[in-house]
Amino acid sequence: MQAKERNVVRYAGYVLFTVLGFLAAILINWLFPQMDKTVTFQSYQTIFGKMDAGTLLRIVLVILVIGFTVSGALAFRDEEKRKKYIDRAKFRFAMGILIAVLDITGTKMKILPQPFFPGPAEILAPFLEEGDFILTNTLYSLRLYIFGFSFGVLFGIGTGILIGWFEKAYYWISPVLNIAGVIPAVAWMPFALTLFPTPFTAAVFLIVICAWFPIASLTAMGIQSTPRAQYEAAKILGGNTAYLLFHEAIPNAMPQIFTGISTANANAFTTLVMAEMLGQPGGLGYYINLAKVWSSYYKVFAAILIMAVLFSIILKLVGRIEKYVLRWQRGIVK
């Protein structure tokens, strides 16, 4: 019983350690004097009342503190999650300290080269300044990604099945795929812009093709690698050709299909941002371009911050789906 209590106390120590950096950052932002007088934070009307970027930073930090405390408490029951949480404590502490240091050097004293290294509060300022505009552009990127990527996955798996299953299709399509696959999708941008009715559909097309190639070739490889014995087992049980394809070849190819999807995801993020920078009427890439024109580097950082969060969430979601679909692999040593 006593040992258990000691464990609880020790774990609570780790939770405190995790949030300590962020707490320090809050205090620094609040108490450290603004020594460089060129920096002024404007107040903006928000749904939560009038607020300036410094306040927003403290709110974000408070949310992080609460979030990590709650997630720490939730992780306590599960041994694996608890270990992971303890393992990350150092890193999260360092993150908080880093924010505090950047706040001092970037904003409070402005000793970093300006305007390239804005402090954390300044990076959050655009959300107050033009939150609606940022949201519109984020949604534009998201819509582009969803359309482009889902069609890419669909066509990729479809093509992969064709060339993996039919020898004729393999003979005719795979060389084309291999050659076209090495060309970065944005190279097609000029054609895409003239061939498609809107810039949006042109960008969707680019994302589709950049996702298509890795998924198609890995799907095909997965299908072709199905052991003959597995087909024979299905034939003995009375399976026809459709059964062999849909219940043998495709499930067997699933791990490789997901490898293709991961590669495609990385491609899609790159293509998405490049396409937006090269000629889209919206999106985070477009927003970065605009900001750069006005040398508003703090806005560039704000856009990068959103990308980091957005793309991480997408990767997490895809990872979840993969884990579910490939649950039969859990425990197999790879």
Residues that bind other proteins in the complex, under the rule CB under 8 A: 229-230, 232-240, 243, 247-248, 251-252, 254, 328-332
Query: Quick one: CA torsion of 249, 255, 261, 264, rounded to 10 degrees?
Result: -100
Tokens 């928000």 found at = 46
Q: What 3-state DSSP class applies to 1?
A: coil
CB 249 within 8 A of CB 283: no
Tell me 182's DSSP state: T
Smallest distance, other proteins to C-beta of residue 249, A: 12
The nearer residue to other proteins, 251 or 279, going by C-beta atoms, is 251
The nearer residue to other proteins, 33 or 331, going by C-beta atoms, is 331
The identity of residue 127, as a single letter, is F
Surface-to-core class of residue 310, CB atoms within 10 Å of its CB (0-12 exposed, 13-18 middle, 19+ buried): middle
The nearer residue to other proteins, 114 or 224, going by C-beta atoms, is 224
Smallest distance, other proteins to C-beta of residue 156, A: 20
The nearer residue to other proteins, 71 or 224, going by C-beta atoms, is 224
The identity of residue 231, as a single letter, is Y
Smallest distance, other proteins to C-beta of residue 79, A: 21
Show the 3-state SS of 259-303. HHHHHHHHHHHHHHHHHHHHHCCCCHHHHHHHHHHCCCHHHHHHH
CB 221 within 8 A of CB 162: no
The nearer residue to other proteins, 143 or 235, going by C-beta atoms, is 235
Distance CA 178, CA 234 (A): 32
Smallest distance, other proteins to C-beta of residue 235, A: 4
Smallest distance, other proteins to C-beta of residue 236, A: 5
Smallest distance, other proteins to C-beta of residue 331, A: 6
CB 234 within 8 A of CB 243: yes
Tokens representing 39 are 């920096």
The nearer residue to other proteins, 47 or 332, going by C-beta atoms, is 332
The nearer residue to other proteins, 109 or 254, going by C-beta atoms, is 254
Smallest distance, other proteins to C-beta of residue 227, A: 9
